[in-house]
A = this chain, B = another copy of it.
């Protein structure tokens, strides 16, 4: 059913917006996830999403280069259209980078903590920050191993 599909596209859009993307970027992801065959041309995206060429262009650029690389395209010989599709590989790569976010929070908290320790009387609050820090550290220690573990499983099952 065609309307069911559009509902999915919007749902995916809303989810994707929570990753910090624009509404249209979200809908592009949605459209590509639900496309049959699983790719779309520039024009079909414009038409299907009722969006201007400029917006589609900008957002595709973002999704391919600046953002996560979740979208990529392939070409066919003797055809200058680009066929845009989801790159599941890059999607996975992107999720796997969550620890980097943790790392940045951790680094900043560490800086703050050392500032507090050398400039302030208070001790109890610093202890609390240390606890939070220990959580980040723990996660940063464990997550990479966990991800590797999944990679192993993945290889086996192929």
Contacts and interface: CB of A to CB of B under 8 A. Distances in A.
Contact of A15 (B88, B105, B115): B105
A153 B125 contact: no
How would you classify the secondary structure of chain A's contact residues: helix, strand, loop or mixed? helix
A146 B95 CA distance: 18
Contacts of A129: 33, 88
A48 interface: no
A23 B15 CA distance: 22
A15 B104 contact: yes
B150 A95 contact: no
A135 to B, nearest CB: 6
B38 A92 contact: no
B112 A33 contact: yes
Interface in A34-90: 34, 36-38, 86, 88
A8 interface: yes
